[in-house]
Structure 1
Amino acid sequence: MTQHSMFKIETVAPKIRRVTFTNPPVNVVGADTVVQLLDVVDELSQDEAVQVVVFDSGTPGYFYNHADLAQVPELLALNNADGLPTWVELVTRLSNAPFISIASIRGRTRGGGDEITLAFDLRYASREEAVFCQPEVAIGIIPGGGGSDRLARLLGRDRALEAVLTSHDYDAERAEQYGWVTRAVPDAELDDFVGGVAARIASFDKASVLGAKAQINRSTLPPVADLRASWAGFAESVTWPGFQARIPQLGKLIAEIGVEEIERNLGDYLGIANQQA
């Protein structure tokens, strides 16, 4: 087992690892999260024994949550040596990793957290506990981590537009209906179901598993150029007057109501904040 502050790696079986993300109280994703998760992906990619990795959360009520707005400057400053945004590098390497990644989703996954989740190969959601949202438009910016690029491919143009433009929370049943997740499973069955899928894939020949993944990736993944363009658009959008006007209103609601209540029902409160902006 390896500890990366926010991430714990455990060996479930010789070919299976579990990565648990814990960043209480609400699992926001900051620059530090991105750096650590990229290190985790690198570590697992270098282990030839690893064939399947299950990603889950150690924070009740939250999977990978939205970006930490207090760390936006730090997120935008993260770039690798050739200028590729570190976020784009993370989601690209995750999608192309030499293992099958499976998300076991309990709780809320929104914005940047949802964009990480969309980069996993398979996404299984608790029917009772999982919630999905791309909230950016409601706060005056645009998605930057690949949410629009991936949702358009998964949901189709009209449903992707609905999800992104309304900034609503979507429960697991609707997410399953739309194709946002691979499958919604009763919460009591989620762990056994994910474990069974992981064990079955791990029992197959690794070369055939990764060869099939590469074939499907060629047909379905957004080009890196599109991801870079989305990140550049997001970077520009944080300077827009609409964002600057809405953030104080959201901060006021958090001060009045409390961050935990806001985060539990973010889609509803974003609508209230916009009425006051």
Structure 2
Amino acid sequence: MTQPSTISVERLTPGIRKITFSNPPVNLIVGETVSRLVEVVTELSEDPQVHVVVFTSSTPGYFFNHFDLGRVADFMPSDPEATPEWIDLVVRLSTAPFISIASIRGRTRGGGDELALACDLRYASREHALFGQPEVGGGILPGGGGTEHLPRLIGRDRALEAILSSDDYDADAAERYGWVTRTVADTELDGFVDGMATRLASFDKAALATAKAQVNRGTLPPDADLRAAYTQFLTSLTWPGPQAFQPQFEKLAAEKGPEELELRLGHYLGIARQESR
């Protein structure tokens, strides 16, 4: 029996599309998520009507979460010479001829944070958005653009703090750092994003796309750096560090439950790391 897609696409107006992610209970990114997003972003890039694409989630407490490392084979490229599918996605998204808006309510970590970073604009619920790059805490490396996009937004030292600590950052800290475009009161987030999308969709598409391309020239990392980071991510999965850490983390998951673990992932990563030594 075919499983329903984790991605749905809605036509809000002729110029606006909404992409909704749903993989309850904790919105882990799986291989189907990536494949479907590549298809959707490609299709929308070729549609001359589409001016704005909004990314959101229907799972309470979560935007896009991290990769499901229990299904790591999903993220292994079948052709070692080909561009990894995740890198293809973030490059396509950041260079697409439409404006992408992440409407962030809930936990946004790892690959989910990297997807948000590839979007053009990021608006976050002040009360309910949370951000993190938890990979180093688990003994592996970010591989989907976190180490390339985040320093360009928030600076080297703050990016090092976020990536090395593997901790969670609330929306207020993310706004101060420049991690998000701005935070908005949760009750106002949907209306604010709708208003921005409507405003941008009313402008000439050529002007929007060309202005974005001009800004991109001075701000986006080289594609080769993104591919190198993904290769290092795959290599890090074979290091002894994550192999030694995983049993302790699984023990915590059994004690606390996977949903509790995801609610406070940064906190529990620190506990598991200390207890694995």
| TM-score band w.r.t. shorter chain | over 0.9
CA contact (8 A) 1:50 1:99 kept: yes
Q: Structure 1 residues 78 and 95 mapped into 2: Cα distance closer, same or farther (>3 Å)?
A: farther
Query: Which segment drifts farther, 102-111 or 66-75?
Result: 66-75
State the match for 2:129 in structure 1.
130
User: Deviations for 1:209-251, whole angstroms, at most 9, x for unmatched residues?
Assistant: 0000000111111100100110111111111111111111111
Could you tell me which amino acid in structure 1 is paired with residue 190 of structure 2?
D
State the match for 1:86 in structure 2.
85
Identity value in percent:
62
Q: Structure 1 residues 189 and 199 mapped into 2: Cα distance closer, same or farther (>3 Å)?
A: same
Query: Is the partner of 2:76 in helix, strand or coil?
Result: helix
1:199 aligns with 2:198: yes
Could you tell me which amino acid in structure 1 is paired with residue 44 of structure 2?
L
State the match for 2:35 in structure 1.
35
1:167 aligns with 2:172: no
Distance in structure 2 (CA, Å) of the matches to 1:125 and 1:53: 16
Unaligned runs of 5+ in 2: none
CA contact (8 A) 1:16 1:50 kept: yes
Q: CA deviation at 1:73?
A: 2.3
Query: Is the partner of 1:274 in helix, strand or coil?
Result: helix
Query: Which segment drifts farther, 125-134 or 42-51?
Result: 42-51
Distance in structure 2 (CA, Å) of the matches to 1:32 and 1:255: 27
Unaligned runs of 5+ in 1: none
Q: CA deviation at 1:77?
A: 2.7
Query: Is the partner of 1:71 in helix, strand or coil?
Result: helix
Could you tell me which amino acid in structure 2 is paired with residue 83 of structure 1?
A
1:223-234 superposed matches below 5 A: 223-234=222-233
State the match for 2:63 in structure 1.
63
State the match for 2:54 in structure 1.
54
Q: CA deviation at 1:27?
A: 0.6
What is the TM-score with the length of structure 1 in the denominator?
0.96
Distance in structure 1 (CA, Å) of the matches to 2:73 and 2:14: 40
Q: CA deviation at 1:70?
A: 1.1
Distance in structure 2 (CA, Å) of the matches to 1:42 and 1:123: 21
Distance in structure 2 (CA, Å) of the matches to 1:87 and 1:6: 16
Could you tell me which amino acid in structure 2 is paired with residue 231 of structure 1?
Y
Distance in structure 1 (CA, Å) of the matches to 2:247 and 2:136: 16
State the match for 1:208 in structure 2.
207
Query: Is the partner of 1:77 in helix, strand or coil?
Result: coil
CA contact (8 A) 2:5 2:33 kept: no
Query: Is the partner of 1:12 in helix, strand or coil?
Result: strand
Query: Is the partner of 1:212 in helix, strand or coil?
Result: helix
Q: Structure 1 residues 243 and 20 mapped into 2: Cα distance closer, same or farther (>3 Å)?
A: same
State the match for 1:141 in structure 2.
140
For the aligned residue pairs, the C-alpha RMSD in angstroms reads 1.3
Distance in structure 2 (CA, Å) of the matches to 1:73 and 1:38: 18
CA contact (8 A) 1:79 1:86 kept: no
Query: Is the partner of 1:74 in helix, strand or coil?
Result: helix
State the match for 1:103 in structure 2.
102
Q: CA deviation at 1:78?
A: 4.9
Distance in structure 2 (CA, Å) of the matches to 1:197 and 1:143: 31
Distance in structure 2 (CA, Å) of the matches to 1:23 and 1:47: 27
Query: Is the partner of 1:53 in helix, strand or coil?
Result: strand
User: Deviations for 1:148-193, whole angstroms, at most 9, x for unmatched residues?
Assistant: 1101100100000000000110000000000110001000000010
Query: Is the partner of 2:190 in helix, strand or coil?
Result: helix
